[in-house]
Amino acid sequence: QSALGWWYRLRQARLLWPYLALLVLLAFGTVRGIIGGNDLGNIFFDANGYAYFALFPAVISVLAAPPWRERLLILLAAAVTVSVGKALLVFYLFSHRVSSVMLMIYTWIRDTRVGEITIMAGDFYRVFFQAHVFALVVAFILFLLLVRPAATGRRRTGLLHLAFIWSLTGLVMGLSRSFWFGGFVGVIAALVSLRWLSGSFRPWKRALTVGLVGLAAALLVITATYLIPFPRRGADVSFASLFGSRAFSLSGEAAANSRWALLPELWQAGWRHPVFGSGLGTTVTYTTSDPRLLALNPTGRYTTYAFEWGYHDLWVKFGILGLVIFAWFLAVVLAPYVFRLRLSRGRWSPDRVHESPSDMKKTAWVAGVLVGALALLATNVFSPYLNHPLGIGILMLVAAFGIYELPQGRGLSAGSGSLEPGSS
């Protein structure tokens, strides 16, 4: 394959111009930040996350070979498994007050910024890892695979159920309202997809069963871990009250209050340069409720270039122009998935199935990836992932699989390989 194979592939997939426009936008935001007098250190670290888009050609080139795509899926499955397992281990150690390692683990997670550990009630700790955004996407892929009409094979389906429960365990244990909001939007998108594919509401019953059983099992895993009596059992906690208050309270705690205090300041900053933005490294000052920051400055006034509200971050730094270019890029990335689902309308009808089991499985994968991507975009409303290697990495993988596995969605010749390793 030639060194410029990625160029031709992107051009064939109609992704070249959106991608180049995105790179120009990032360069423009950098220059605009410098001209605007933004701190060079802030500009560098702000641009650092977006720089991950530069790896897009490498991703496209490497994943041109079907074996690499299959290996990547196996690696992603292993990564989610290990990541959730690591979070569960940390949860166990903190909830059981294993003091010999608590400080070391907390310092490691805090300093590497891979996650957060926060005491919630009694001995119950919130263990949140940013990388669990992959679990969010994987959970919807597994969900659609489980509710498809041809989901047969007791051993294979059992493994899918276990993987689904494991993914939900990470999402529930993290107590991230951003992930839960993304999951809520994803559930709606999944139900709409099932209605579209089946032509009826009948699959919703199976979907409800799979979802509720998976959620209950995830809660059981967390509860069982908390109640392990060795070396000491955690203090009694009302799990219903804990999870319920977390899900439905939009304020009243430090993180939520800080996020809402930031929002009006972002609106004000965005309207200063609404069309072209103020450039990378732009800072906003607001009043935080974060106890760590209050210890440094009792007034609570805090200035930062890193914003919680993902789309406001894009608007403040790149303006409406940036939002339009990002929307263009995202629309082209997701286009082949939408096209495949359009072709499959009504093919999952319980009365007359029009797809073979293998085609049904591929359609379920397509729907799962699309729904997972929409969940990611919804999560970005409250927590920025489109300017972070994790979110950008997911988008690049979605784009690459769309190019090679769904070429008919872009008017290309069909490629080889399968969307997932193995079959059932």
CA 59/CA 153 separation, integer angstroms = 34
CA gyration radius for the chain? 22
Which pLDDT does position 293 carry in this prediction? 80
Contact in structure between 282 and 36 (CB atoms under 8 Å): yes
Tell if the pTM clears 0.75, that is, is over it.
yes
**What single letter denotes the amino acid at residue 412?**
L
Domain boundaries of the chain, sorted by first residue: 5-230+310-410
The pLDDT value given to residue 412: 44
In 3D space, the residue among 372, 398, 374, 376 whose CA is nearest the CA of residue 386 turns out to be: 376
What pLDDT sits at residue 111? 85
What is the per-residue pLDDT for 245?
67
Q: What size, in residues, is the chain?
A: 424
Return d(Cα 230, Cα 31) in angstroms, integer: 57
Q: Give the closest residue to 88 by CA, choosing from 207, 286, 220.
A: 220
pLDDT tens, the chain, 424 aa long? 556 788 999 999 999 999 999 999 999 999 999 999 999 999 999 999 999 999 999 999 999 888 998 899 899 999 999 999 999 999 999 999 898 899 999 999 988 889 989 888 888 899 999 999 999 999 999 999 999 876 655 667 889 999 999 999 999 999 999 999 999 999 999 999 999 998 888 889 999 999 999 999 999 999 999 998 888 776 667 666 777 666 666 655 677 888 899 999 999 999 999 999 999 999 999 998 877 787 888 888 999 999 999 999 999 999 999 999 999 999 999 999 999 999 888 888 766 666 677 788 899 999 999 999 999 999 999 999 999 999 999 999 999 999 998 865 554 444 444 444 333 3
The answer to whether 265 and 284 have CB atoms below 8 angstroms apart is yes
Q: What distance, in Å, lies between the first and last C-alpha atoms of the chain? A: 32
Tokens, residue 348: 């999952």
